[in-house]
Chain A
Amino acid sequence: MSAHTTESRHAPAGRYVGASVPRREDPRLLTGRGRFVDDIRIPGLLHAQFVRSRVASGVVTSIDLSAVLDVPGVVAAYTAADLDVIGITAVLDRPRTQFVPTEMPILARDRVRFAGEPLAIVIAEDPYAAEDGVEAAAVTYQVHTPVTSAEQALEPGAPLVHDEAADNVLLDVSMFATEGIDEVFAEAPCVVRVRTRTGRQNAVPLETRGAVADWDDRDAQLVVRTCTQVPHQVRTVMARSLRLDERAVRVITPDMGGGFGQKCVVGREEIAVAAAALRLRRPVKWIEDRKDALTASFLAREQRYDARAAFDRDGRILALDADIVCDMGAYSCYPFTAAVEPLMASAEMPGVYRVPAYRVRGRAVTTNKAPSAPYRGVSRPQYVMVMERLFERAARELKVDAVELRRRNLITEFPYSGVNNITYDAGSYLDSLNLCEQVLKDEGWYDLKAAAAAGGRHVGIGYSCFNERTGYGSGAFAQRKMSVVPGFDMTEARMDTTGSVTITTGTLSHGQSHETTLAQIAADELKLDISKIKIVQGDTDRVIYGWGTFASRSVVVGGSAVRLAAVKLAEKLRMLAAGLLDTTPDDVELDDGRVRRRDDPGRGLGYAELADIAYLKAHLVPKDLEPGLSVTATFDVFTDGTFGNATHGAVVELHKGTGRVEILRYVCVEDCGVAINPMVVEGQCRGGIAQGIAGALFEQVTYDEQGEPSATGFLDYKVPTASEIPDVAIHHLETPSALTESGAKGVGEGGTIGAPAAVLNAVNDALAPTGVELNDTPITPETVQRALEQAS
């Protein structure tokens, strides 16, 4: 694989940062010795499943669980009335004209708002018996007409999903509205418009959600092992819901089989399971089956845009105006609320382009569908697609090459203060586009496209340029007016008497390789072999506090906290050693597991010797130092974060007869600043691109008029396989971040953000001779086939 790396200001000085260190997670996962939630067995363990609503909207008129209790093996069955727990309400501190808070009960009380909503929990000695029990439940409903689309939700007189949201709108914000924007549009020589719809998707972590809850009498604590990206936030909600002191809840996340955002919100089922365990005083396990995961967990991405852009004769963008409606389903997710998609899109839509005037209206609409949660990229796959379509449209109108048009509009001077009140730190927007185009030219794809066209084949090339804000700290989330403000991270670094170091992180790796990458950061600071460092995560009793893993925050925020803690521990080692070596801390240095005098490198003390003194011979510790070797550090971001960027280029061929879109080549030129571990960065890019392609071409949850979801299994919800996902060539640029301690920027979401736009543009490029333009995703074989037939 060819690579292109620019000169780095933060040239890796250490041995580990910048190297593709083998993953420390791998051996246990490769041998079947990982421990996922469903692998946990506790003596006396019971198994839970949920009775779920069969109707999308209505009132439960009766729920009879007597037959459930007669099923052999069933131990208990509870309704909302039996459990009496407090529901989940996610709030923004905005006026009711902008945001309407709604409650998601743990179990539906009487009103049901989507097909699949949990009504009762059945607990049995055996998972099979629990399912038998669920089938024995008798529920009757007064069925209401469901709201199954955003259009329907917004119609006057539409049925209401929540009585308190009088027009089915949970968020309605109009932002920026640059003065004179209407005049700009009126006078501009070129105005283009794009209307887009994107399909409702499921993030599909291959491990479904699940939890094991158990009351521990000795610790007077409810111990909940659950696959969540945000253990501390689950603890907070669970304690409130169950009316427990927060210290009486311990949330542990074992190995986790993916999340992609679906697990970064608090689920009602994990709380119901905990409530059941508390009542029964026995351990209870719930493992979501795939049908429930597809129909009743958290979905995402169903959005529609009506966007206009004005350009001058030279192809410079003058203004952007967008109306964004996000179908957030039945409930607001905690802590982000149903506003997460429209607020992300509204705030960030101008992206990598110099947009001088901007107006946006963003709405979150509630419907009778499974609720939405953040999903990898959150709205950015959608608005990037819209922006890139606007540029393609304008290029066609202005008869300018679309890549050239982008070049004229990309931000090139940094820091750049955008019309959307965001300051963008340095990136390689132009370089990444130029390199991506060059690669596709050098590889001969433009020649192939021309030859293919001459031969009657439909080959197209498409690009997308985008950035990815990473390191949303308390500042950025407070701007959204979240009442629960995520952002900071805390780390403890502790050295034991053998000189080994345990480092806790509030982030939560579930595939992202933090056990490796965070250890790389710490090992370089501590000048210590990486094998002597263990990263601990996912336990609210062991990790002081943190906000988990989402929004590409882990290396930026968590990684910086780890580095700061390592620096502090190194300082403490220097102070201790200086006292013992009769010199000052400034006159000693760390070197390969020991602290030595600068003026006399032969005189030094190994970490184990220092730790031995710090703990076991505390009388020798210099008087101004505390015994022990433990430090904590926090990191937060109050600025606008740090922006990774990339350009993606896709070459597709459309197959007449089947309507298949075949991706012939996919090139990604990414810039995430200093790559802590290039192998991991490439893995994040490839996996993200696969998910972006999935959204562009394959995956969609649809609902019929009764609000019944179409996809209940993987035969209907088409997760792409190795036959559909192409090999991806990745090229690296490096614009280090000045914000982070390591120079790194986040890279978790970029692949997913860029892929839909690149694929859609390539498809439209291939369709150009037909005059048909597609703007909705997923692009199905049917639409492609129709377009090709229309042309012939």
Chain B
Amino acid sequence: MTDRQLITLRVNGEPYELVIEPRRTLADTLRQDLGLTGTHLGCEHGICGACTVLVDGAPARACLMFAVQAEDRDIRTVESLADGDELSDLQRAFSAHHALQCGFCTPGFLMLAEGFLAERPEATREEIRELVSSNLCRCTGYQPIVDAVEDCARRRQASRREHDRAACGEAERSGHAAGA
């Protein structure tokens, strides 16, 4: 029980060296050893999803993973989303849609959506609803969370299209230039 291991974790781009018991969960390690208390624990048996973090970009329950399993993986927590006081588009969407009340489940939903939208940027509302059903929220009735994730997805899509159009226009212009 008291055997400890030296591990290296990479969390939000920062490397950490830790000496921990192998039975220590990733969630406890993040919260207690690294002081990253934004990751919350609502059930510790993998249902509520409040502890959801990104492991190599994919949402994972930090309560169901031992910290030692997270070695050499890229861990991202809610603390990585904002840029200083500047909220990310996803965080802003949550606030705009009143997708949080007590805020306890919120970091889990944010990381869930962050990982999902990176993988499925064109997700439909039904797919987003199914995603949101991965985690539990007791305050909002979920609709505002679905709204927020959908809104964020649509804005990112619009901004990508805008970017593509601009890039396309740029290419055309440079094409003309080359042709001329």
Interface positions of A (Cβ within 8 A of B): 22-23, 25-27, 29-36, 38-39, 41, 72, 127-128, 132, 204-208, 255-258, 260, 289-290, 510-513, 679-680, 682-683, 686-691, 713-715, 719, 721-728, 751
Partner pick for A510 among B91, B102, B130, B144, CB 8 A cutoff: B102
CA A575 to CA B67, docked complex, whole Å? 63
* In the assembled complex, B103 has its CB within 8 A of some CB on chain A: yes
A30 touches B94 (CB 8 A): yes
If the complex has contacts A72-B2, A128-B24, A680-B98, are A29 and B47 also in contact, measured as CB distance less than 8 A?
no
B138 proximity list for chain A (CB < 8 A): 204-206, 258, 260, 687, 690-691, 719
Asked if residues B106 and A29 are in contact (CB atoms below 8 Å), the reply is yes
Picked from B37, B42, B44, B91, the residue with its CB within 8 Å of the CB of A207 is B42
Which among A127, A128, A289, A725 has the greatest number of chain B C-beta atoms within 10 A?
A: A725
- Proximity bits, B122-148, A CB within 8 Å = 1, else 0: 000000011011111111111111100
Contact: B142 with A722, CB < 8 Å?
yes
| In the bound complex, CA of A714 to CA of B87 (Å) | 32
- B14-45 interface with A by 8 A CB criterion: 21, 23-24, 28, 31-32, 35-45
Q: Convert B76-112 into 0s and 1s, putting 1 for each residue whose CB lies closer than 8 angstroms to a CB of A.
A: 0111011001010001001110101111111100100
A206 touches B79 (CB 8 A): no
List 22 A-B residue pairs with CB atoms under 8 Å apart, sorted by A's residue number: A27-B87, A31-B38, A31-B91, A32-B37, A33-B38, A34-B38, A35-B37, A38-B37, A128-B23, A207-B40, A257-B102, A258-B101, A258-B104, A258-B138, A290-B42, A290-B45, A290-B48, A682-B98, A690-B141, A690-B142, A691-B138, A719-B136
Q: A207-B102, A258-B102 are in contact. Are A36 and B40 (CB under 8 A)?
A: yes
Give the CA-CA distance A175 to B149 in the complex, in Å: 51
Report whether A38 and B41 are in contact in the complex, using a CB–CB cutoff of 8 Å. Answer: yes
- Asked whether, in the complex, the Cβ of B95 is within 8 Å of the Cβ of A206, the reply is no
B155 → chain A closest CB, angstroms: 17
User: Are A714 and B45 CB-contacts (below 8 A) given A32-B77, A721-B133?
Assistant: yes
Contact of A26 among B38, B94, B137 (CB under 8 A): B94
Given A30-B91, A32-B77 in contact, is the A257-B103 Cβ separation under 8 Å? yes
Q: How far is the CA of A721 from the CA of B146 in the complex (A)?
A: 12
Q: Which of B28, B44, B106 has the most CB of A within 10 A?
A: B106
Residue B68 interfacial (CB < 8 Å)? no
**Among the listed A255, A686, A713, A726, which residue makes an inter-chain contact with B103, where contact means beta carbons less than 8 Å apart?**
A255
Once A27-B87, A714-B48 are accepted as A-B contacts, the answer to whether A687 and B141 lie under 8 Å apart by CB is yes
Pair A30/B95 contact, Cβ less than 8 Å: yes
Closest chain-A Cβ to B98's Cβ sits at a distance in Å of 5
Contact A23 B98 (CB under 8 A): yes
Nearest Cβ on chain A to B127's Cβ, whole angstroms: 12
Confirm or deny: B152 has a beta carbon within 8 angstroms of a beta carbon on chain A: no
> Which residues of B have CB within 8 Å of A682?
98
B163 → A minimal CB distance (Å): 25
Whether B44 pairs with A289 at a CB distance below 8 angstroms is yes
* Complex contacts, A41 vs chain B, CB 8 Å: 35
Which 3 pairs of residues, A with B, have the shortest CB-CB distance? Answer: A32-B38, A257-B104, A29-B103
Residues of A contacting B180 in the complex (Cβ-Cβ under 8 angstroms):
none
Say whether B50 faces chain A, with CB atoms less than 8 Å apart.
yes
User: Is the pair A722, B146 in contact by a Cβ cutoff of 8 Å?
Assistant: yes
User: Cβ of B79 and Cβ of A32 under 8 Å apart?
Assistant: yes
A38–B37 Cα distance when bound, in Å, is 8
Considering the chains assembled together, what is the distance between the CA atoms of A26 and B95 in angstroms? 6
- List of B residues within 8 angstroms of A751 by Cβ: 141
Instruction: Out of B39, B132, B140, name the residue touching A32 (CB < 8 Å).
Output: B39
Chain A residues, CB < 8 A from B178: none
- B25's nearest neighbour on chain A, judged by CB, is A128
Asked whether A714 lies within 8 Å of B94 as measured between CB atoms, the reply is no
Query: A280 to nearest B CB, angstroms?
Result: 20
Q: CB of B1 within 8 A of chain A?
A: yes
B41, B106, B137: which contacts A30 (Cβ < 8 A)?
Answer: B106
* Given pairs A31-B81, A33-B38, 14 additional interface contacts (CB within 8 A): A23-B95, A30-B95, A35-B37, A36-B40, A39-B37, A257-B105, A290-B44, A511-B102, A511-B139, A687-B101, A690-B141, A714-B45, A723-B129, A727-B143
Docked Cα-Cα span, A725 to B94, in Å, equals: 18
Q: How far is the CB of B117 from chain A (nearest CB, A)?
A: 16
Residue of B nearest to A719 (CB): B136
What are the residues of chain B within 8 A of A207 when measuring CB–CB?
Answer: 40, 42, 102, 104
- Report Cα–Cα, A22/B106, bound state, in Å: 17
CB-CB < 8 A to B130: which residues of A? 722-723
> Once the chains bind, are A686 and B140 in contact (CB under 8 Å)?
yes
Contact of A686 with B144 in the complex, beta carbons under 8 Å: yes
Residues of A close to B136: CB separation below 8 A: 206, 714, 719, 721
Distance, CA A359 to CA B94, complexed state (A)? 48
Which residues of the partner chain A approach B142 to less than 8 Å between Cβ atoms? 690, 721-722, 725
* B residues less than 8 Å from A511 (CB atoms): 101-103, 139
| B141: chain A residues within 8 A (beta carbon) | 686-690, 725, 728, 751
Q: Contact: B100 with A30, CB < 8 Å?
A: yes
Taking the closest CB of chain A, its distance from the CB of B114, in whole angstroms, is 12
Q: Is A128 a contact of B87 with CB atoms below 8 Å?
A: no
CA distance A722 to B146 in the complex (A): 8
Collect the chain B residues with CB atoms within 8 Å of residue A689's CB.
141
In the complex with contacts A32-B36, A290-B45, A715-B47, A683-B106 CB distance below 8 A:
no
Chain B residues in 8 Å Cβ range of A255:
102-103
Complex contact A728–B143 (CB within 8 A): yes
Bound Cα distance from A208 to B82, whole angstroms: 27
Cβ B2 vs Cβ A25 within 8 A? no
| Interface-centre pick from A26, A30, A719 (highest chain B CB count, 10 A) | A30
Q: What's the Cα separation between A341 and B72 when bound, in Å? A: 54
Our pick among A22, A72, A256, A691 for the contact of B95 (Cβ within 8 Å) is A22
- Bound CA span A725–B140, Å: 10
In Å, the complex CA distance between A398 and B77 comes to 61
Chain B min CB distance to A731 (Å): 15
| Alpha-carbon distance between A255 and B105 when the two chains are bound, in angstroms | 13
Contacts of B143 in A (CB 8 A): 686, 725-728
Judge whether A128 and B21 touch: CB under 8 Å. yes
**Whole-angstrom distance between the alpha carbons of A132 and B2 in the complex?**
12
Cβ-closest chain A residue relative to B96 = A22
The reply to whether A683 and B104 form a contact with Cβ atoms under 8 Å apart is: no
Complex CA distance for A257 and B105, rounded to whole angstroms: 8
Pairwise interchain contact B140-A205, C-beta atoms closer than 8 A: no
| Complexed CA–CA distance, A728 and B130 (Å) | 17
Distance (whole angstroms) from the CB of B23 to the closest CB of chain A: 7
Q: Is the CB of B98 within 8 A of A32?
A: no
Complex contact A722–B87 (CB within 8 A):
no
**How far does the Cβ of B172 sit from chain A's closest Cβ, in whole Å?**
40
Give Cα distance in the complex from A516 to B163, angstroms.
37
Within 8 Å by CB of B43, from A31, A688, A713, A726, lies A713
Q: How far, in Å, is A298 (CB) from chain B's closest CB?
A: 15
Closest Cβ neighbor of A679 among chain B residues = B98
Residues in B with CB closer than 8 Å to A260 are 138
Contact of A30 with B133 in the complex, beta carbons under 8 Å: no
Q: Which residue of B lies closest to A694 (CB)?
A: B138
A287 to chain B, nearest CB (A): 8
B107 to chain A minimum Cβ distance, whole angstroms, is: 5
With the chains together, A257 CA to B144 CA distance in Å? 18
Best-surrounded residue of B47, B94, B142 (most CB of chain A within 10 A): B142
Residue numbers in A under 8 Å from B106 (CB-CB): 29-30
- Which residues of chain B have C-beta atoms less than 8 A from A687's C-beta? 101, 138-141
